[in-house]
Amino acid sequence: MRLILLGAPGSGKGTQATMLQEKLSIPHISTGDIFRSNIKSGTELGKLAKSYIDKGQLVPDSVTIDIVKDRLLQDDCKNGFILDGFPRTIPQAEYLEDALKNMGIALDVALNIHVEDSEIIKRMSGRRVCPGCGMTYHLIYNPPKENGVCDGCKSGVIQREDDKEETVLSRLKVYHQQTEPLIEFYKAKGKLVTVEGQDKVEDTSKEVLKALGKA
């Protein structure tokens, strides 16, 4: 299955993608995760990306598109992929259409996870991530079994730098201006499926699987 996940920052794209990756045995590709791993290892790409991410702005399309282009050509994408956080602008979506057409394939579904802004702000302040394996937690809604320690790889969990409240507000603004128009873009192509993402993680996962016909 070739799938993209749409939704505001904090809507649960990463959380659901982790579940789907296991269930569907296809890779989870998060442009945000790719940028964060480059920031961590201090590459030129990481330095450039950080200057935008820290302000809650989007990394320029030209940079982001090149990364996705390389990633989709890798072998593990042959049977499908879950794109999380890409596309995020109309030019990125148009690029993706062209690139897939050139590869002789097409997108199956654009899955949009809908969550109100007020809920997003609550989620971001409590989010914790594992710097070791990338697992996502929430202090209240989805805590690790042992306080502060990743269930899987046992690293100490940390708060993401762009989860400070003022940065979250600019990310939400950028989402509404630049990314939300993609909902209409995919609706017009007959590819859009929207699920309500306000419920508990497990309930949202059930909705997602039902919407994809995999329940």
The yes or no reply on residue 204 touching ligand AP5 (CB under 6 A) is yes
Q: Does the annotation count 2 as an active-site position?
A: no
Q: What is the DSSP string of 25-84?
A: T--EEEHHHHHHHHHHTT-HHHHHHHHHHTTTPPPPHHHHHHHHHHHHTSGGGTT-EEEE
Pick the binder of ligand AP5 from 39, 50, 88, 157 (CB under 6 A): 88
Do residues 28 and 20 lie in contact, with contact meaning Cβ atoms separated by under 8 Å? yes
| Cβ closest to ligand AP5, residue 104 vs residue 214 | 214
Instruction: Considering only the stretches 9-17, 92-100, 141-149, 193-201, report the one whose residues sit in contact with Mg ion under the rule CB under 5 A.
Output: 9-17
Angle formed by the axes of helices 31-40 and 44-53, to 10°?
A: 120
Give the interface size with ligand AP5 as a residue count (CB under 6 A).
37
CA distance 197 to 47: 33
| Cβ closest to ligand AP5, residue 112 vs residue 136 | 136
DSSP structure class, residue 88: -
Do residues 19 and 206 lie in contact, with contact meaning Cβ atoms separated by under 8 Å? no
Q: How far is the CB of 160 from ligand AP5 (least distance, A)?
A: 7
Q: Does the annotation count 71 as an active-site position?
A: no
Cα torsion angle, 71, 134, 90, 181, sign: positive
Q: Does the annotation count 36 as an active-site position?
A: no
Instruction: Considering only the stretches 10-18, 37-45, 164-172, 183-191, report the one whose residues sit in contact with Mg ion under the rule CB under 5 A.
Output: 10-18
Instruction: Considering only the stretches 40-48, 73-81, 102-110, 122-130, report the one whose residues sit in contact with ligand AP5 under the rule CB under 6 A.
Output: 122-130
Residues that bind ligand AP5 (CB under 6 A): 7, 9-15, 30-32, 35, 52-53, 57-59, 64, 85-86, 88, 92, 123, 126-127, 136-138, 141-142, 162, 171, 197, 199-201, 204
Residues that bind Mg ion (CB under 5 A): 14
